Amino acid sequence: MRIALIAALLALPLAADTSGRRGRTGPVVVLYFGANAAAGSHQRLVDIGATVQRIDASDLPKALENADILYLPTEWATGPTRDALRTHKAAIEAWLRRGRGIYVSQANIDGEITELPLRFTVANFYNAADRTTPEGESPFLKGLEDKELPWPCDRITAHDAAFRVHAKGSVSGTPALMTAQWQGGRIVVNLDNDNVRAVGGSFVGPSTTSDACLQRLLEWLAKRPIRAR
């Protein structure tokens, strides 16, 4: 009798998983939030293998539905992008809880970032003498050369304890790269300037995050490889 009951239970269909925390499949969809005509990061994301969609404030929150990552490029906090994040904070947090991720680049302001589920404070001032030093063993930085590591273009002067620091400036001592898991979602804060490639392919400023490092961070956020392996 007991064996028959167990067999019957196993034959029942499983309840649908509505949490979104199970692994997604298919192309990794990145929402590139905000127009920055000089930025090279949009093309970098495409070259790495992501499916990239440019969006602005009017596209939220609907654009989140089928996306894996919300990408905030350098200077995101200096214009309407920041206002939209405030307006739609509840919707973005609900989306994160379904297992999605946010990638945060250099804010380019002085002040506390309160638009995201976890807070941190930034200062838009850097020390040109800084070099990036890994903080412990980081899967994102393993095997990379010093010149490939994120550089602290903004200084993070305070942050929630939930963040794990992966790298710091050698002189400033402030974080260059942090990650956190939040209620099923994931957040990367890399306050390097992601305008790595200007028109003509020349490099801008001291930004050093390599494509290899960027790809690792994106795949951690998406919870799967960007390219089939």
Distance, CA of 169 to CA of 125 (rounded, Å): 12
DSSP string, 140-183: TTTT--GGGS---SSEEEEE-TTPEEEEEETTT--EEEEEEEET
Q: Tell me whether strands 111-113 and 69-72 are parallel, antiparallel or unpaired.
A: unpaired
pLDDT at 62: 96
pLDDT at 19: 36
Distance, CA of 50 to CA of 214 (rounded, Å): 11
pLDDT tops 50 at residue 69:
yes
Residues in CB range of 116: below 8 A, 6 or more apart? 85, 102, 104, 187
Reported confidence tier of residue 157, pLDDT bands at 50, 70, 90: very high
pLDDT at 75: 87
Q: Is residue 4 part of a domain?
A: no
Q: In which domain, by residue range, is 114 found?
A: 26-222
Q: Is residue 156 part of a domain?
A: yes
For the whole model, what pTM was predicted?
0.85
Reported confidence tier of residue 36, pLDDT bands at 50, 70, 90: low
Q: Is residue 182 part of a domain?
A: yes
Distance, CA of 131 to CA of 206 (rounded, Å): 10
pLDDT at 166: 96
Q: Is residue 2 part of a domain?
A: no
pLDDT at 5: 35
* Lookup: tokens for 170: 């050698």
Average of per-residue pLDDT across 39-54? 86
pLDDT in tens, 207-227: 688 889 999 999 999 999 997
Q: Is residue 18 part of a domain?
A: no
Is 218:48 a contact under the CB 8 Å cutoff? yes
Residue 88 gets which letter from DSSP?
A: T
Distance, CA of 104 to CA of 14 (rounded, Å): 37
* Lookup: tokens for 88: 């739609």
pLDDT at 196: 57
Compute φ and ψ for 215, nearest 5 degrees: -65, -40
- List the CATH number of the domain containing 87: 3.40.50.880
- Omega prior to 150 cis, within 30 of 0: no
Average of per-residue pLDDT across 105-127? 92
Q: How many domains does the chain have?
A: 1
pLDDT at 7: 38
The overall average pLDDT reported for the chain is: 83
Q: Is residue 10 part of a domain?
A: no
Q: Is residue 118 part of a domain?
A: yes
Reported confidence tier of residue 127, pLDDT bands at 50, 70, 90: confident
Q: Is residue 165 part of a domain?
A: yes
